[in-house]
């Protein structure tokens, strides 16, 4: 069965390593924070100037001066630090953030990503997304395999305005884990109970399938 958002977040949490500095985008990536394995230290970076995002505050500790990049009130963990936007993006652009997780409208088999603009419909701006995708050491996209109309979001070529080119290395969807390789998309894992055929059908671009494709470990 296709994964729900929490299932996708759970699978992505497997990509984390102890000591990682991670930037979580809005949407499914935010949920990943709930599945960090206990005993593992992962430090969350917020591009508006916080290293060490903590959980949402209790009602009586809400602080208007302490928000995340989604403008939600948050807390800061022990050992956190605050800094200005130029230093925050120095961390991102300089490759100090180990992993960036973000959502997308479309990803191409070259690793191009479209995530910020739907002409005539959505023109709110790219925020920090272009900086993140152009700079991060490793970028994983979390998204549904298909859009609301059932059309594949894994394409030969993106149709929407790009956020970045050739930057996505891995995509985790409700159906599969797909890597972007020199030869295009490669199927790495299946969601539990999802067949290779179903994934191929939901993928507009060609999909390399080599040998047995294991199911995701969601333990």
Partner 1 sequence: MNKVVKDAYEAIRDIGDNATIMVGGFGLCGIPENLLIALSESRVRGLTCISNNAGVDGFGLGKLLNTRQVRKMISSYVGENKEFERQLMAGELEVELIPQGTLAERCRAGGAGIPAFFVPAGYGTEVAEGKEVREFNGKMHLLETALTADFALIKAWKGDTKGNLIFRATANNFNQAMGMAGRITIAEVEELVPAGSLDPNCIHLPGIFVQRIFQGSNYEKKIEFRTVRST
Please give the positions annotated as active site: 47
Separation CA 106–CA 163 (nearest Å): 10
User: Applying CB under 8 A, does 115 fall inside the site for partner 1?
Assistant: no
Report the chain's C-alpha Rg in angstroms.
17
Nearest Cα to Cα of residue 103 among 116, 92, 112: 116
Tell me whether residue 134 or residue 209 sits nearer to partner 1 (CB atom): 134
The token duo for 127 is 């925020």
Among positions 46-65, residues that touch partner 1 (CB under 8 A) are 46-52, 55-59, 62-65
Of 1, 118, 123, 200, the one binding partner 1 by CB under 8 A: 123
User: Applying CB under 8 A, does 18 fall inside the site for partner 1?
Assistant: yes
Tell me whether residue 130 or residue 209 sits nearer to partner 1 (CB atom): 130
Tell me whether residue 12 or residue 50 sits nearer to partner 1 (CB atom): 50
Sequence-distant (6+) residues with CB within 8 A of 162 are 112, 113, 114
Tell me whether residue 5 or residue 201 sits nearer to partner 1 (CB atom): 5
The token duo for 181 is 């390789």
Separation CA 201–CA 83 (nearest Å): 46
By CB under 8 A, the count of residues binding partner 1 is: 69
Binding mask 136-175 for partner 1 (x = CB under 8 A): -------------------------xxxxxx---------
Asked if 27 and 69 count as a contact pair (C-beta separation under 8 A), the reply is: no
Tell me the three state secondary structure of residue 28. helix
User: Applying CB under 8 A, does 204 fall inside the site for partner 1?
Assistant: no
Binding mask 30-49 for partner 1 (x = CB under 8 A): -----------x-x-xxxxx
Measured from the Cβ of residue 127, the count of other Cβ atoms closer than 10 Å reads 15
Q: Which residues sit at the interface with partner 1, rule CB under 8 A?
A: 18-19, 21, 41, 43, 45-52, 55-59, 62-68, 70-74, 76, 78-97, 112, 123-131, 134-135, 161-166
């Amino acid at each position: 069965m296709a994964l729900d958002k929490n299932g996708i977040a759970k699978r992505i949490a497997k990509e984390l390593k102890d000591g990682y500095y991670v930037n979580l985008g809005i949407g499914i990536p935010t949920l990943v924070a709930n599945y960090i394995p206990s005993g593992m230290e992962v430090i969350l970076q917020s591009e508006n100037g916080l290293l060490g995002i903590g959980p949402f505050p209790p009602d009586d500790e809400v602080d208007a001066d302490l928000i995340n990049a989604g403008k939600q009130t948050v807390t800061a963990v022990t050992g956190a630090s605050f800094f200005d936007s130029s230093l925050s993006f120095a961390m991102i652009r300089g490759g100090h953030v180990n992993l960036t997780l973000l959502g997308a409208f479309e990803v191409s088999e070259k690793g191009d990503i479209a995530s910020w603009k739907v002409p005539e419909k959505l023109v709110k701006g790219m925020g920090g997304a272009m900086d993140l995708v152009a700079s991060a050491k490793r970028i994983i996209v979390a998204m549904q395999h298909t859009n609301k109309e059932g059309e594949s979001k894994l394409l030969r070529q993106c149709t929407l305005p790009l956020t970045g080119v050739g930057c996505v290395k891995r995509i985790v969807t409700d159906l599969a884990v797909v890597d972007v390789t020199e030869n295009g998309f490669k199927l790495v894992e299946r969601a539990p109970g999802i067949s290779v055929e179903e994934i191929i059908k939901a993928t507009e671009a060609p999909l390399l399938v080599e040998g047995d494709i294991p199911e995701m470990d969601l333990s």
